[in-house]
Structure 1
Amino acid sequence: MKTPYLEIDLSKIHDNAKHLITMFGVRGIGVMGVTKSVLGEPKIADCLIAAGISSLGDSRIENIIRMRKANVQALLFLIRTPSVSEVQDVVAYADVSFNTELSVIADLSRVAVQQKKIHDIVLMVEMGDLREGILRQDLGKTIGKVLRMKGVRIIGLGTNLACLSGVKPTKSNMDDFSRLAETYERSYGLKLHVISGGNSANFDWMLEDDTKGRVNNVRLGEAIVLGRETLLRKHIGGLHLDAITLVAEVIESKRKPSLPEGETGLDAFGNTPVFEDKGEMLRAIVALGKQDVHVAGLVPLIDVDILGSSSDHLVVDASRAPLRVGDRVRFGLDYAALLSSMTSPFVGRSYIKDQSQRWPRLRGIPERVPAVM
């Protein structure tokens, strides 16, 4: 297959999803699979459904439309407050949307009436991370106003932590969130079916104790596809770290000095590069760059060091693992690298189910690593 490409092991994604469903399920918490990092790819969505996930969340209505048109059999949640310009599509294609703005909900109400639908909504509550959310003191009056609108129905509350400001989900803030749900259920006679307490950052909170209050849902994306929680990027025991890897090809391999020759200035991206004198080394160029991937999020899975990159060249020190032209090198990914490479039009995708499908000259087939807990 033409390089570079993401190698996506559906069986490992399936394993990770099943493991997380069990881990959260024994504590009474359901898992919503988040598909935004994989652009709503129907193959991956179907894989999550086969593992036992019945609801999928995405922040882009385009990805939800893609899954709907592919006949993905799950409840589809838009997990970002809709733009006013997309409310027609939100009502038409999403089963549920997360919301924070009364004006947007009013537009959803109007369009739902036009489309002769009831559109379900989850109200997002600000619990300290200062990204999206209705302030707690405003939640009651917001609920009251929404209940008077036609065509929309409140089915739950949600919150989001650790994404913008790094605020941790803890017993304290999750208990406060649960109490809000209980308070407004009593005040307004509501039955809130979805109490969505967060994302892959909720893993440590989940392990703290067995009492989770009203929280009955978490939204997991990175934990499923990369096998890590998101506060400290620790490996979650039992999960595959290599369900998705990036494969790129060596296009030059030569012994060269480690220090550049001549006066230096800024590089192509306005940075001042710093080099260490290591003498002559085997420098290999991989056909990959910043236009393909967030290079800082790459981890080579063989014993080479990334020396630097430009828009379409990645230079590595291959002295300890000699590479030749045509070799294919595998890289692990963090979330930013996965998101950027999935979005790049220059990075292909290969779906596999077993090791025998891997390219025979591929360098860097990782082993399953022990958990760090």
Structure 2
Amino acid sequence: MNTPRLEIDCAKIAANAKLLINTLKPYGIDIVPVTKVFMGHPEIAASLISSGVKMLADSRIENIERMRHAGITVPMMLIRTPMLSQVDRVVLSCEVSLNTELVIIRALSKAAKNMGYYHGVIVMVELGDLREGVMPEQLLSIISETLMLPNIIFKGIGANLTCRYGVAPEQDNMNFLAKLVKDVEQQLGISAEIVSGGNSANLIWAFSLNPHQSHVVNQLRLGEAVYFGVEALNKHPIAGGHTEIVTLVAEVIESNIKPSLPWGRRCANAFGEMPEVIDKGQVKQALLALGRQDINPSGIIPPQGLTIISSNSDHIVVESVGEALQVGQEVRFNLDYSGLLTAMTSPYVKKYFYH
């Protein structure tokens, strides 16, 4: 089998999605799995749909179009604010998009009217993480103008935390979101069908809710929780979830006993770095046919007895304790989110899906 490769267990992904659907249902929260880390791969989409999800989300219109071309028909949500240059494609392939700019919502309205379509809009509000979102004091006026646009359906209000500065979703900022929703509904005489409260970082907050008390958030956009079986704040496993779903397999192309200290005058390496070197004497060193063009090296977790020492474009250098690795031997790594994201994006890493 080809290396480097990803081995992806679709059955475990479906099981995690079903677990989250059932766990959050008593709180009145629906999940929308985000497929971007898998580049909208149809195998992943089909697995998620088999678990019972009713909508999929992605940040790239190309990924959503890929799923559409593969015959995926469930409603789609674009979770990155649409580009002005792509509004026609967004209206054609997505039922809903997250938005912060009136100029883009107006362009979506024009495109939808020209095509004879209707497009749903969720207006994102800023809660402190300072990525996407209109400022709270602007929310009312932007929604008011959105409501007047032809062929646009106002679907609700959304928020996102943790992704830029790591601001945690907690009761205070979720209460503030609830207040904003209530103010908009009362002052404009409308009802927000969707309150999309955040991502996998919201799970600690969500699990702390009292299912017998009403609350406003009724949707979470989940990626990491589905594909890694963890909540995103502290990376704690979700009870009953699968945490080892994707494996990265790389091949040894050189194995040798070498000194741990380089010799000669040192300059910066090919990436402008001057890594610190520790004298450990002679070490069992191996080169893997896997490099930064394939993956973010900090995003892979080696097996016990193996340490990643350095990396460049085409190689990862490892040292082993115990038996030396053999040329041609396959080494299996776990990944974190950044490791999976970069490996999926690389055309040099083969992808194998298992059910």
TM-score (norm 1): 0.92
* Counterpart residue number, 1:360: none
Shift in Å, 1:186: 2.1
What's the offset of the Cα at 1:237?
Answer: 2.8
Q: Say which SS state the counterpart of residue 219 (structure 1) adopts.
A: strand
* In 2: Cα distance, 1:196 partner to 1:148 partner: 22
Query: How many residue pairs align between the two structures?
Result: 353
SS at match of 1:209: coil
Partner of 2:149: 149
Distance in 2, matches of 1:100 and 1:244, equals: 34
Aligned residue type for 2:331: V
Cross-structure match for 1:132:
132
**Equivalent residue runs for 1:104-183 within 5 Å:** 104-183=104-183
1:248 — aligned with what?
Answer: 250
Q: Could you give the per-residue CA deviations for residues 217-254 of structure 1, whole angstroms, max 9, x where no partner exists?
A: 00000111122222222222322222112111111111
- SS of the equivalent of 1:11 reads helix
Does residue 213 (structure 1) correspond to residue 215 (structure 2)? The answer is yes
2:281 to 276, 279, 298: 279
CA distance, structure 2, for counterparts of residue 239 and residue 269 of structure 1: 39
Matching residue within 281, 299, 302 for 2:301: 299
| Matching of residue 233 in structure 1 with residue 235 in structure 2 | yes
1:187 is aligned to 2:187 = yes
Deviations 1:55-96 (A, max 9, x none): 111010001111111121321000111000000100111111
Separation in 2, partners of 1:147, 1:250: 59
Which stretches in structure 2 are left out of the alignment for 5+ residues? none
List, as ranges, runs of 4+ consecutive aligned residues in structure 1 with deviation greater than 4 Å.
none
Equivalent-residue separation in structure 1 for 2:316 and 2:282 (angstroms): 18
Matched, 1:311 2:313: yes
1:324 Cα offset (Å): 0.8
Match of 2:327 in 1: 325
Q: Distance in 2 between matches of 1:286 and 1:240?
A: 28
Amino acid at match of 1:140: L
Amino acid of the residue matched to residue 92 of structure 1? Answer: L
Q: Distance in 2 between matches of 1:84 and 1:193?
A: 26
In the alignment, which residue of structure 1 is the partner of 2:339?
337
Q: What is the CA RMSD across the aligned residues, in angstroms?
A: 1.2
1:3 matched to 2:3: yes
CA shift for structure 1 position 129: 0.7
Question: Taking structure 1 as reference, are residues 321 and 138 closer, same or farther at Cα in structure 2, changes over 3 Å only?
Answer: farther
Q: Secondary structure at the match of 2:27?
A: coil
Deviations 1:196-215 (A, max 9, x none): 10001011111223246110
> 2: CA distance between counterparts of 1:243 and 1:59?
22
Which residue of 2 is the match for residue 269 of structure 1? 271
Q: Which amino acid aligns with 1:254?
A: N
Deviates more, 1:263-272 or 1:213-222: 263-272
* Structure 1 runs not aligned, ≥5 long: 354-373
Whichever residue aligns with residue 82 of structure 1, its letter is: P
Amino acid in structure 2 at the alignment position of 1:303: G
Alignment check: 8 A CA contact 1:250 1:325 kept: yes
- Code of the residue aligned with 2:224 in structure 1: it is E
What is residue 262 of structure 2 aligned with on the other side? 260
Q: Deviations over 1:28-79 (max 9, x none)?
A: 1110000011100010011011111111110100011111111213210001
Question: 2:34 corresponds to which residue?
Answer: 34
2:71 maps to 1:71: yes
Mapped contact 1:304–1:320 kept (Cα < 8 A):
no
Using the alignment, how far apart are the partners of 1:296 and 1:250 within structure 2?
19
Q: In the aligned structure 2, how far is the partner of 1:104 from the partner of 1:53?
A: 28
